[in-house]
Chain A
Amino acid sequence: MLFVRKNIMAFTGLFLCIFLVVHLGGNLILLLPSETAHGLYNSYSAKLGGNIFIRVVSIFLYLSILLHTVYAALITSKNNKSKGKKYLVNHTIESSSWTSQNMGLLGFSILIFILIHLSNFWWRVKLGYGEIVPLDSNGLKDVYLITTELFKNPYYVFIYVIFIIPLSMHIKHGFSSAFKTLGLYNLNYIRKVSIIGNMFSIIILIGFSVIPVAVYLRGL
């Protein structure tokens, strides 16, 4: 079971990483001048929603988040059960990073953020709850408007920027850890993968925090 569990964690984790690349890529449209961004963003969003391939992938995405969370809970509980008494003095932070020791805590913060994020967009646009989504001049759902409206609120800008930090940290450790879990053992490759993971986590951090700030500043 140890084996199955960790492999599921690694697979779903890496799948979520791939999703983040696509998600960031699409959202970079928001950084374009607003006239261009408006139409482009709405048609991008409509295409995503209409594409059967994307629909199938998004089912995998929801499933991944679910499995990743369920297995995170299973793994963390097994780990806690394996521990003995707590050490009176524990400086194991000198021999490993805080991030690597707190993947569960970081993951839990991400989960909270995912819920906030879904309630902001997915809930309204996809499921049709709450205020009706207005249409743009091309008759498409005006997701651009919803997004820019949301980031007029400085509290939301703050939340979106702050919660990217645990995500970035989680990836910094998780990316290379996943490869090792899946059996990448050549030291040279391990080193390269952790460099890629570090760069990836920085790109995610900068990319996702610049977007809400830029949208906010433009809306002032």
Chain B
Amino acid sequence: MRVTFKIWRQESNSDDGRFVEYEVDNISEEMSFLEALDSLNESLVQQGKGVIAFDHDCREGICGQCGVFINGRANGPHSNTTTCQLHMRSFKEGEVIVVEPWRAKAFPVIKDLVVDRSSFDRIIQSGGFITAKTGTAPEANSILVGKDIADSAMDMAACIGCGACVATCKNSSAALFTSAKINHLNILPQGKTESSKRVLEMTERMELEDFGHCSFTGACEIECPENISISNIAKMNFDLLKAKLFKG
């Protein structure tokens, strides 16, 4: 199939950046979107031009590296999917496909479609862990966890930190990401003891990293590849209110 890629090219963070159009006609419908970019990059190499930089790793929807903004939607036209799970059959013959990096002040562009998501790492570092002795694994049954709690914690822990929630949010808010990372620990007995400290520090870090407020537009949960529910943000607000009021 023949399509035109209109891709954001930017040498470095200090470069202004611009869109460049590439017409390609050797694409098959079975190709994944990233394979189509690979194929475009190969032809750029053959022409002696610089390749388009984009993030990717697992290409099976589990690592959260690959996100880009495609035709006005985070990770392309489908809801709840990663960019690597998108296939060229989702586009029409002759279509112009506009590809942009995630846009948020907290996600500066490194090169082309690659953005720096270390603001997410710093949110995790501020409290997204439990304090425990390392060494041999403890006996699994010494702390019992109900199946419903375990399932719910797994649902939230499924967040792959791809940044689609921030990219699609009109306020560039990281509320969905941060709430998932707080809640999956706060709900478990291992995480409960440090829950107030965790919610206070992680939300404070979120603010320092220049993310916006949450307006509950709900766009994040539509784009989230892992279907993380927006009710997590409400739970984070609840824990935060509790922590602020009863700080002692």
> Could you tell me the dominant secondary structure of chain A's interface residues?
helix
CB distance from B60 to the nearest CB of A (A): 24
Interchain CA distance A176-B215 in the complex, whole Å: 11
Contacts of B213 in A (CB 8 A): 2, 5-6, 75, 78-79
Contacts of B98 in A (CB 8 A): 88-89
Contact A84 B172 (CB under 8 A): yes
Contact A96 B217 (CB under 8 A): yes
Question: Which partner residue on chain A sits nearest B106 by CB separation?
Answer: A82
Contacts of A6 in B (CB 8 A): 213-214, 237
Residue in A2, A85, A92 whose CB lies within 8 Å of B219: A92
Interface presence of A152 (CB below 8 A): no
Interface presence of B82 (CB below 8 A): no
Identify the stretch in A23-31, A111-119, A178-186 within 8 Å (CB) of chain B at 4 or more residues.
Answer: A178-186
Interface presence of B20 (CB below 8 A): no
Contact B19 A103 (CB under 8 A): no
- Binary A-proximity of B85-115 (CB < 8 A = 1, otherwise 0): 0000000000000101011111110000000
Interface presence of A87 (CB below 8 A): yes
Give 16 A-B pairs besides A6-B214, A96-B217 with Cβ atoms closer than 8 angstroms: A3-B203, A6-B213, A81-B210, A82-B173, A82-B212, A83-B103, A83-B105, A87-B69, A89-B71, A92-B219, A101-B215, A182-B237, A183-B235, A183-B239, A184-B238, A185-B232
Interface presence of A127 (CB below 8 A): no
Contacts of B218 in A (CB 8 A): 95-97, 100
Interface presence of B233 (CB below 8 A): yes
Contact B241 A182 (CB under 8 A): yes
CB distance from B33 to the nearest CB of A (A): 16
Residue in A2, A82, A100 whose CB lies within 8 Å of B203: A2
Interface presence of B56 (CB below 8 A): no
Contact B73 A95 (CB under 8 A): yes
* Interface of B toward A, CB cutoff 8 Å: 6, 19, 69, 71-73, 79, 98, 100, 102-108, 168, 170-173, 203, 206-207, 210-219, 222-223, 229-235, 237-242, 244
Interchain CA distance A58-B35 in the complex, whole Å: 64
- Binary B-proximity of A180-220 (CB < 8 A = 1, otherwise 0): 11111111001000000000000000000000000000000
Contact B72 A91 (CB under 8 A): yes
Contact B217 A97 (CB under 8 A): yes
Known contacts A78-B213, A185-B238; A92/B106 CB under 8 A: no
Contact B212 A79 (CB under 8 A): yes
Question: Which partner residue on chain A sits nearest B169 by CB separation?
Answer: A92
CB distance from A75 to the nearest CB of B (A): 5
Interface size of A as a range: 35 or more
Interface presence of A52 (CB below 8 A): no
Known contacts A75-B213, A92-B170, A190-B231; A180/B237 CB under 8 A: yes
CB distance from B41 to the nearest CB of A (A): 21
Which of A85, A101, A187 has the most B CB atoms < 10 Å from its CB?
A85
Residue in B203, B211, B219, B237 whose CB lies within 8 Å of A181: B237
Question: Which partner residue on chain B sits nearest A3 by CB separation?
Answer: B240
Known contacts A91-B71, A100-B216; A183/B103 CB under 8 A: no
Contact B105 A81 (CB under 8 A): yes
Between A and B, 23 residue pairs with Cβ closer than 8 Å are A2-B206, A2-B207, A3-B237, A3-B241, A5-B213, A82-B105, A82-B173, A83-B172, A84-B108, A84-B172, A87-B100, A88-B6, A90-B72, A92-B73, A92-B168, A92-B219, A94-B72, A100-B218, A101-B217, A180-B237, A183-B234, A184-B234, A185-B237
Interchain CA distance A88-B212 in the complex, whole Å: 21
Question: Which partner residue on chain B sits nearest A176 by CB separation?
Answer: B216
Contacts of A45 in B (CB 8 A): none
Interface presence of A56 (CB below 8 A): no
Known contacts A83-B103, A94-B73, A100-B215; A180/B203 CB under 8 A: no
Interchain CA distance A100-B230 in the complex, whole Å: 14
Interchain CA distance A184-B230 in the complex, whole Å: 11
